[in-house]
Amino acid sequence: MDHSTLIFPLLVFLVGSVTAATPPRPNIVVFIADDHSQADSQPYGSTEVRTPQMARLAADGMKFTHAFVASPSCGPSRTALLTGLWSARNGAEPNHKPKNPGVASLPPVLHALGYETAAIGKVAHNTFAKDHGFDIIAGPHPGFSETAAVATFLANRDRSKPLCLFVGTRHPHTVWSADRTYDSANVQIPRIHVDTPTTREERASYLTDVTKADTLLGEVRALARENLSADTIFVYTADHGAAWPFSKWTLYDAGIRTSLLVAWPGQLKPGSTSDAMVCWPDLLPTFIELAGGRVPAGIDGKSFAGILRGTATTHRDRVFATHSGDGDFNVYPIRAVRTRDWKYLRNLHPEFQHHTHISRSSGPSGLVYWKTWLAAAETDPNAAAIVKRYSARPAEELYDLATDPHEQHNLAADPKQAARLASLRADLDAWMKQQGDTQTVFGQPLRQGEPATLIAPGNTKKKTAP
């Protein structure tokens, strides 16, 4: 099969028809934050960030503890959501690339079931929402910072149709807010980061933007209650982890394990928790099943409607994730398989240096604090180890997540884990073959030993790092 031109023929016949016997179709509202780490919210245990709306949503419905995205960068993650396919099959492998022509999206499946489908703010990446078959698209692309467009749309739409609405804010994507509402002296610096005054200031700015996203979530939820029926599924999630080292652009859990909060009045028990393993390609197949349709054959996503209906408690026994790169800022392809308690990562080119906007952008995406990490590394062995691990990775990594949830102790060379390593290696090999993964390198990498260079945002013009 040519995965790059995957087409779902006769789509309307695949989804089935809506008949008089079809149960009422719930409205669906999905709120997507941009670059929000799961750990940085009250429902997932944070004691420093203020996210009362996320806490309220979790209290009203179900918190998923083991939800994962398909990729830790914006474009590939969102394309996997909207197509139900992992990146090698939909074509959006590097960031800022649209899906391949001929690859079908899933919003039209809901449209064929009678739904109006809408995307407001940053739902797909770049201008790619136009490629996914939404009935209504409202910008701006970077994502809203206030909810006027959502209010206008909901107040004026045809309410006779069920609605599937995706709403995306840019918060807490960089560049983070200068109007900090957190005290930098009191923020909690993760132990895998270097604690400098500038790091603390940027951490306070990031948390400020997390709270801004939370506020917008509450406003959208209020608008949904005002304009939609009580039979409305409301979802909060994020496209991947925050733009900090060892999070976004990596396949560590901080990069791919995401928040997933779902409220559905009368259907989901308030304050419930599910540890079922689900992933972003599963979301739209789930909505299609709940809407009374049939999920198109041949996609990677699997409906977890049974979890929401209370007829199932488990879903997947493992998830896969991929990362290819983000322009020349980040040329570092990685693949991973994660089970309940173990993670196997394969760095396809360990001879490349791992860098991102954090360390290569001449703009303000992260270099503002990265320079202080480099300075600290000159005298502090712990800082030096963190900086080294950031840019140099081994070919394989294996982590016991039950005892090492922050993935600090690589067991790939441990003889006691040889059988487990071989088994997970074989699982990943088989999956990559099934996906038609060509392991393409996108962009110009920096090899180990080469001097780091800075790249201006928006182009690939380089200059020697200071």
Domains of the chain: 26-317 (3.40.720.10), 320-464 (3.30.1120.10)
**Which backbone phi and psi does 344 adopt, to 5 degrees?**
-120, 125
286 contacts 304 by C-beta, under 8 angstroms: yes
Q: DSSP letters of 388-452?
A: HHHH---SEEEEETTT-TT--S--TT-GGGHHHHHHHHHHHHHHHHHHT------S-PPBTTSPP
The pLDDT assigned to 362 comes to: 80
The pLDDT assigned to 73 comes to: 97
Alpha carbon separation from 71 to 23, 155, 164, 168, 326 (Å, rounded): 35, 35, 23, 17, 12
- pLDDT tens string, the chain, 466 residues long: the values are 444 444 444 343 344 444 445 567 999 999 999 999 999 999 999 999 999 999 999 999 999 999 999 999 999 999 999 999 999 999 999 999 999 999 999 999 999 999 999 999 999 988 899 999 999 999 766 678 889 999 999 999 999 999 999 999 999 999 999 999 999 999 999 999 999 999 999 999 999 999 999 999 999 999 999 999 999 999 999 999 999 999 999 999 999 999 999 999 999 999 999 999 999 999 999 999 999 999 999 999 999 999 999 999 999 999 999 999 999 999 999 999 999 999 999 999 999 999 999 999 887 767 889 999 999 999 999 999 999 999 999 999 999 999 999 999 999 999 999 999 999 999 999 999 999 999 999 999 999 999 988 888 765 445 555 4
For residue 302, what are the contacts with CB-CB under 8 A and spacing of at least 6? Answer: 281, 282, 285, 315, 316
The pLDDT assigned to 140 comes to: 61
The pLDDT assigned to 24 comes to: 79
For residue 325, what are the contacts with CB-CB under 8 A and spacing of at least 6? Answer: 94, 95, 331, 332, 333, 441, 442, 443
The pLDDT assigned to 361 comes to: 86
204: alpha, beta or left, given left = phi > 0 and alpha = psi -120 to 50?
A: alpha
The pLDDT assigned to 142 comes to: 63
Question: Which of 222, 57, 230, 232 has its CA nearest to residue 155?
Answer: 222
Query: What does R_g of the chain's alpha carbons equal in angstroms?
Result: 22
Q: Which residue has the tokens 């790619």?
A: 128
Question: Can you tell me the distance from the alpha carbon of 268 to that of 364, in angstroms, rounded to the nearest whole number?
Answer: 43
The per-residue pLDDT for range 141-171, each reduced to its tens digit, is 667 888 999 999 999 999 999 999 999 999 9
Q: Which residue has the tokens 């059988």?
A: 419
Residue 88, beta-bridge partner list = none
Task: Supply angle C-alpha 51, 54, 58, rounded to 5.
Answer: 140
Q: How long a stretch of residues is the chain?
A: 466
Say what the pTM is.
0.94
SS3 of 45, please? coil
The pLDDT assigned to 459 comes to: 54
407 contacts 401 by C-beta, under 8 angstroms: yes
Sheet (strand 257-263) strand order = 136-138, 116-121, 163-168, 27-33, 232-238, 257-263, 62-68, 272-279
Kind of pairing between the strands at 116-121 and 136-138: parallel
Q: Which residue has the tokens 């919210």?
A: 41
Question: Can you tell me the distance from the alpha carbon of 79 to that of 132, in angstroms, rounded to the nearest whole number?
Answer: 9
The pLDDT assigned to 18 comes to: 44
